[in-house]
Amino acid sequence: MRGWRIGPRIPPAATLFGIFLVLSACAANGVPRDAPPAARVVMFLGDSFTVGSGPVPPWETYASETARLMGGQPIIAGASGTGYLSEGRVGRTFQRSFEVELAWRPAPDLLVIAGGHNDRRWSAVKVRKAADRLLAEVRGHWPGTDVVVVGPLWMGEPPKKAYEVRDVLAKAARDGGVAFVDPMARRWPLEVALPDGVHPTHTGHERIAAWLAGELGRRPSAGHQGP
């Protein structure tokens, strides 16, 4: 039928050249100017508190919620039962999880290493050495990334050995030139723990996220700290 055209209408060469010039100018001038800034990438490396356990999936843990509260994009790595020395059931430590899950990715804006709960079976000296190795590898691999170490997280009253692990991790962070945040500085009631008495409920994760996001928001950029 007359009046119908089959297939797309091809603009003339002059029009195409004009479009090319406009697009080139936009790219050169950073247009569109009203485009929102890209969300900061926040990586978390940790144990079951970080990756989720029981009814709490990874996207509902304190880690994911903390990133959301900070306006960031979360990437969660690690596994249940793991630590600086503990390999859990997956057979890898935090350092190995960093190497296989995170190190091949582009550098994030912030890396949070959270744990130590599962390292109580080892001496504080060995935990310290393992933390030093991990931090040295991270800082060497991503020198411009902010790094924060979060100590062991405990629902209820922590045992004495947990404080020893906490203390050596704090020293490792300080000597490695990164920030340290201490969850054991406050009490996390068993009322927000799962029936196992170890892991947080959804409410517990939300409370931890609100606390951690506040702590991280008050700290200077960890990547600009000195030893």
Structure confidence at residue 39 (pLDDT): 78
Long-range contact list for 24-29, CB < 8 A, 24+ apart? none
Q: Give the model's confidence band at 133: pLDDT under 50 very low, under 70 low, under 90 confident, else very high.
A: very high
Structure confidence at residue 33 (pLDDT): 60
Query: Among 3-7, 77-81, 133-137, 170-174, which is the least confidently predicted range?
Result: 3-7
Q: Give the model's confidence band at 217: pLDDT under 50 very low, under 70 low, under 90 confident, else very high.
A: confident
Structure confidence at residue 38 (pLDDT): 74
Q: Give the model's confidence band at 19: pLDDT under 50 very low, under 70 low, under 90 confident, else very high.
A: very low
> Mean pLDDT, to the nearest integer, of 119-134?
96
201: buried, middle or exposed (CB in 10 Å: 19+, 13-18, 0-12)? middle
Structure confidence at residue 36 (pLDDT): 61
Asked if the bond preceding 189 is cis, omega within 30° of 0, the reply is no
| Closest to 63 measured CA to CA, from 54, 71, 52 | 52
Give this prediction's pTM.
0.81
Q: Spell out the residues 6+ positions from residue 214 whose beta carbon is closer than 8 angstroms to its own.
A: none
> Mean pLDDT, to the nearest integer, of 198-208?
95
Please say if the pLDDT value at position 14 is more than 80.
Answer: no
Structure confidence at residue 32 (pLDDT): 53
How much of the chain, in percent, has pLDDT values that exceed 90? 74
Structure confidence at residue 96 (pLDDT): 98
Assigned CATH for 44-219: 3.40.50.1110
Q: What is the mean pLDDT of the chain?
A: 85
Please say if the pLDDT value at position 225 is more than 70.
Answer: no
Q: pLDDT per residue over 62-104, tens digit each?
A: 999 999 999 999 999 999 999 999 999 999 999 999 999 999 9
Which of residues 138 and 223 earns the better pLDDT score? Answer: 138
> Mean pLDDT, to the nearest integer, of 25-30?
47
Structure confidence at residue 221 (pLDDT): 52
